[in-house]
């Protein structure tokens, strides 16, 4: 397993968007800190001894050249022909591309020529827990790089939608290492890579990749570009704030708690938040006392205790798990069906995906079902 992890990291290190290059690259982010605590320890304080609550995925450094080539339509169509696409299907692809964009049209064509991919995507759309293993099987069986790219993209999307951004990052690391420039899905893959990084959250890595996405994919769907602009704006506003950094850590802990990860590493992170809050309160109190000595004396208070008495509003909490989640469905499955999926995991999948999916299903098991 160590060798596997090392090879994953090595693959990751060779990437480009993961990998992404900017003509004028933003500041190179620091490598992901091997910790899950929200904020760095204050000066003079020892860091906490415990390891991360949630291990962060490897994120390769930004490169300085755009690794994405213009979409080679002839090559893509040749790949589809090799997979059995008919002229009629290729004709529909051409017509559809003008209507819904190249990425969607290409994915529709790929699903048309690969019933296994279509079936796996349908399982995912239906919220079937077997979707992950079905997509991994398509990936394992695919000889054609374009089909592999689509299978890997959909697997990563499944992880993003399933609140598993760390797994999505790992799948997309492989996409950028092995499947780049064979499908017009590259732009969406780049978008979801940045989104997964923001979801972890790893804002220092997400920010330059949203910038790169916007710079390199000017023709991407407006839906993705608008979302990227919005996330980028949020990240930029949050960049210089210790409070946002603290909130980032709390966001990671929220995800841990939702998956019933309540062990020592999470508790250490939580204690760290209290320390950070204490420090912030002290700092604000000091500022308060300094400003109260001024002759005017009637400036608005910056006391955080007052500031935190904010009107109640919609929090993200209300949106959690309203609909049956994958975890619910997994929990509701019969043991025999779960065992069937477990057996499929052991057959024919690349070792790194076998490990990734074992982790995925283990987390599904921990997260559900709701009683």
Partner 1 sequence: MLRFLQERVNKSTKDFDARPEAERAATRPESDALAGKQARVQDLMRRLAAKLGNESAPEGGR
For 305-316, b/e burial (b = at least 16 CB within 10 A) is eeeeeeeeeeee
Question: Rounded distance, CA 138 to CA 155, Å?
Answer: 10
23 binds partner 1 (CB under 8 A): no
Q: Which of 297, 300 has the CB closer to partner 1?
A: 300
Helix axes 145-161, 115-125, angle to 10 degrees: 10
Q: Which of 181, 251 has the CB closer to partner 1?
A: 251
Q: In the bound complex, what is the minimum distance in angstroms from residue 236's beta carbon to partner 1?
A: 11
Q: Contact, 166 vs 56, CB < 8 A?
A: yes
Element (H, E) at 156: helix 145-161
Report the residue from 142, 266, 341, 364 that binds partner 1 according to the rule CB under 8 A.
266
Report the residue from 69, 226, 302, 342 that binds partner 1 according to the rule CB under 8 A.
302
368 binds partner 1 (CB under 8 A): yes
Q: Residue 254, CB half-sphere, CA atoms under 13 Å: how many?
A: 14
Q: Which of 225, 261 has the CB closer to partner 1?
A: 261
Q: Residue 193, CB half-sphere, CA atoms under 13 Å: how many?
A: 34
Q: Contact, 154 vs 117, CB < 8 A?
A: yes
Question: Rounded distance, CA 319 to CA 314, Å?
Answer: 9
Q: In the bound complex, what is the minimum distance in angstroms from residue 364's beta carbon to partner 1?
A: 12
2 binds partner 1 (CB under 8 A): no
Q: In the bound complex, what is the minimum distance in angstroms from residue 43's beta carbon to partner 1?
A: 10
Q: In the bound complex, what is the minimum distance in angstroms from residue 338's beta carbon to partner 1?
A: 15
Q: In the bound complex, what is the minimum distance in angstroms from residue 145's beta carbon to partner 1?
A: 40
Residues that bind partner 1 (CB under 8 A): 39-40, 237-247, 250-251, 253-255, 257-258, 260, 262-263, 266-267, 270-271, 273-274, 277-278, 281, 287, 302, 304-305, 307-310, 313, 315-317, 320-321, 366-371
């Amino acid at each position: 397993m160590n060798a596997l992890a090392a090879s994953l990291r090595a693959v990751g290190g060779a990437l480009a968007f993961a990998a992404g290059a900017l003509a004028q690259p933003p500041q190179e982010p620091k490598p992901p800190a091997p910790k899950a605590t929200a904020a760095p320890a204050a000066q003079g304080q020892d860091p906490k001894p415990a390891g991360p609550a949630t291990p962060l995925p490897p994120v390769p450094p930004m490169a300085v050249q755009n690794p994405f080539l213009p979409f080679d339509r002839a090559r893509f169509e040749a790949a589809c022909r090799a997979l059995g696409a008919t002229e009629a299907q290729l004709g529909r692809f051409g017509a559809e591309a003008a209507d819904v964009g190249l990425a969607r049209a290409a994915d529709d064509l790929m699903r048309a020529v690969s019933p296994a991919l279509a079936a796996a995507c349908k399982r995912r759309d239906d919220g079937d827990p077997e979707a992950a293993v079905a997509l991994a099987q398509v990936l394992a069986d695919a000889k054609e790089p374009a089909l592999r790219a689509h299978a890997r993209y959909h697997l990563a999307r499944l992880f993003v939608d399933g609140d598993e951004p760390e797994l999505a990052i790992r799948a997309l690391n492989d996409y950028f290492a092995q499947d780049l420039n064979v499908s017009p899905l590259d732009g969406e893959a780049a978008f979801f890579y940045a989104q997964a990084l923001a979801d972890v959250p790893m804002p220092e890595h997400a920010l330059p990749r949203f910038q790169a996405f916007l710079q390199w994919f000017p023709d991407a769907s407006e839906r993705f570009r608008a979302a990227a602009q919005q996330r980028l704006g949020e990240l930029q506003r949050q960049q210089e704030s210790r409070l946002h950094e603290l909130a980032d850590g709390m966001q990671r802990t929220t995800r841990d708690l939702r998956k019933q990860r309540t062990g020592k590493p999470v508790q250490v992170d939580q204690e760290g938040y209290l320390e950070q809050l204490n420090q912030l309160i002290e700092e604000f109190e000091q500022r308060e006392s300094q400003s109260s000595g001024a002759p005017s004396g009637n400036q608005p208070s910056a006391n955080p205790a007052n500031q935190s008495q904010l009107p109640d509003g919609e929090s993200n909490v209300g949106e959690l798990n309203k609909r049956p989640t994958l975890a619910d469905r997994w929990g509701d499955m019969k043991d025999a069906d779960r065992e069937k999926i477990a057996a499929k995991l052991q057959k024919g999948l690349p070792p790194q995906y076998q490990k990734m999916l074992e982790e995925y299903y283990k987390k599904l098991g921990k997260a559900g079902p709701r009683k």
